[in-house]
Chain A
Amino acid sequence: MTEHRIIPLWPDQVAPYTEFSGGQAQPSVKEFAVSGASGAMVICPGGGYSCKVDHEKDNIAAIFTAAGIASYILDYRVRPCHPETPLSDAKRAIRLARSLGYEKVGIIGFSAGGHVCCSAATLYDAGDPDAADPVERLSSRPDAFVSAYSVVSFTAFRHQGSLENLLGERREDAALLNRFSAELNVTRDTPPGFIWHSRDDRLVPVENSLLLAMAMSVKGVPFELHIFPGGCHGAGVASPDPRAEQWSELCVTWLKGLGF
């Protein structure tokens, strides 16, 4: 049995927004190293910003391990937290993975974890060259992102539960709703995206992925999109519709095409 390192995101520091986080543990990543891997993926499990579901963790890492790609399962903070907390955790995880020497660092997220992922893919920064902490000097822009039945938008076809858990009392703050609607924030500089969803998803409407794809197309950002007819919501790797399981093979092919 391989031991997997648990790496705290901010060792020897207090994580940002700790005072709003209701005593949650310091965010961390669980490492699935692969010898010689040039690329790594940060994995954001879903759970409506109230938990992180188990079926979108180790079995997702196993897909990447088999493909020769390292992965880091992100234990990001959820409700109760400041609205910026999960994004700050994701950005830090990308910087941290980058500091470990990978040439390519991507991010994948499922459902509300997909919301974290799409936020990280659109609300990145170049890093602070004056930071004392060398990790903070690195860019948080992922080299690619994989959006799996994501809550893309807090404005159109939104998943109200995720919105309420992330924003709390600020759930009607229009500026925040726009900030956390990735389809509104896509630019020419947005990294390439691999997007998939099930057509019969009753929790997070497939329109979330269609709107994201349209925004990417308008800006000329490369993307790949797969909508499967079945699979419902939260399929992870073990779907009620075996055809939805094809996403992982398609995704690995896509990542390899990008040099992961």
Chain B
Amino acid sequence: MDLILDRETISLWPGEAPYTAESPDQRQPSLMPYPIEGAKGAVVVLPGGGYEMKADHEGRAVAEMINEAGVAAYVLDYRVKPCHYEAPLSDAKRAIRLVRSMGYEKVAILGFSAGGHLCCAAATLYDAGDPQAADPVERLSSRPDGFISCYAVVSFTSFRHQGSVDALLGDRKTDYALLRRFSAELNVTPDTPPAFIWHTATDAGVPVENSLNLAAALSHAGVPFELHVFPVGGHGLGLAPKVPQVAQWAGLCQKWLLSQGYGK
């Protein structure tokens, strides 16, 4: 029996999601759960797709890789173009709060490419939650305990991936304040959670400098991080089943998660 048939998505919000009016023709955002009995930690997984779609090979297979390490995973169906530029981040923050509300000690976020942009935004633009909120989920912090940035569009200011900028910001694509808000390397502080970062040096879609600049910012702020740049492979490989050198990232990532206390 394919267990996937038994999975039911979890709606992020009991009612209508924020920014619904500005995000026409979108499904309500939801999580596909890949729980693990006894896991202390969970990872919210954000597939990439240039803020225009969500790539299939960066979802379920990645959740199963995380499960292999004894860590729970939740694949987020976040909103993309056409949407308000705050909608994807609001979805990611809510996903972290919701997974936290399930009782995990540690909640990390992982994203690929534009999903990596969302991941880095969530890792730098979090809030502590609203203690006055009627919804108990909203009282919880959206700060991830760690983040995993996979060939991410880190920056909207330097070495940027214009397609992601255009899709997320739309008419406001030249708004300087927004470009800076969505450039994670500019928003790292000593309170930014620990990171695992990887990229390929031959990425023609999203230059490796995105990850190098993020690493430099984390180093400057004294935030623990691990970084792996592989010499081959290009962009968008996911688990990289056909490129063994790059496929090493998954094992390194599993070890990192276990070292951070996400396992059983």
Contact = CB atoms under 8 A, between A and B. Distances in A.
Interface of A: 192, 199-200, 205-207, 210, 213-214, 216-217, 222-229, 243, 246, 250, 253-254, 257
Given A205-B219, A210-B216, A254 B209 contact: no
Interface stretch (B48-56, B64-72, B119-127, B223-231): B223-231
A253 B252 CA distance: 15
Most buried by A among B202, B215, B228, B231: B231
B228 A225 contact: yes
B255 interface: yes
A210 B201 contact: no
Contacts of B232: 222, 257
B240 interface: no
Contact of A226 (B201, B228, B255): B228
Contacts of A199: 218-219, 224-226
Given A207-B216, A229-B226, 9 more contacts: A199-B225, A200-B224, A222-B202, A222-B231, A223-B201, A224-B230, A225-B227, A243-B255, A243-B259
Nearest to B228: A226
Nearest to B259: A243
A244 B218 CA distance: 19
A227 B231 CA distance: 14
A246 B252 contact: yes
B212 interface: yes
Contacts of B202: 222
B212 A210 contact: yes
A228 B224 CA distance: 9
Nearest to B252: A246
A253 B228 contact: no
B97 to A, nearest CB: 26
8 interchain residue pairs of minimum CB distance: A227-B227, A225-B229, A224-B231, A222-B231, A229-B224, A229-B226, A226-B228, A210-B216
Contacts of B194: 229
Nearest to A224: B231
B229 A213 contact: yes
Nearest to A201: B219
Contact of B229 (A200, A205, A223): A223
A185 to B, nearest CB: 19
B215 A227 contact: yes
Contacts of A224: 201, 229-231
Contacts of A206: 215, 219
Interface of B: 194, 201-202, 207-209, 212, 215-216, 218-219, 224-232, 245, 248, 252, 255-256, 259
A210 B219 contact: yes
Contacts of B201: 216-217, 222-225
A69 to B, nearest CB: 17
Contacts of A210: 212, 215-216, 219
B209 A214 contact: yes
Contact of A223 (B218, B226, B231): B231
Given A192-B231, A224-B201, A217 B212 contact: yes
Given A199-B219, A217-B201, A217-B212, A228 B230 contact: no
A258 B225 CA distance: 28
A14 B220 CA distance: 47
A250 B209 CA distance: 21
Contacts of A217: 201, 207-209, 212
Contacts of A246: 252, 255
A253 to B, nearest CB: 6
B81 to A, nearest CB: 29
Contacts of A222: 201-202, 231-232
Contacts of B216: 207, 210
Contact of A227 (B208, B209, B226, B248): B226
Contacts of A223: 201, 229, 231
Nearest to B227: A227
- A225, A228, A243 interface centre (most CB from chain B within 10 Å): A225
A253 B227 CA distance: 18
A226 B256 CA distance: 13
Contacts of B252: 246
B196 to A, nearest CB: 9
A119 to B, nearest CB: 22
Given A210-B216, A223-B231, A229 B248 contact: no
B142 to A, nearest CB: 23
Nearest to A200: B224
Nearest to A211: B216
Given A207-B216, A243-B259, A253-B245, A226 B209 contact: no
B226 A228 contact: yes
B216 to A, nearest CB: 5
Contacts of B212: 210, 213-214, 217
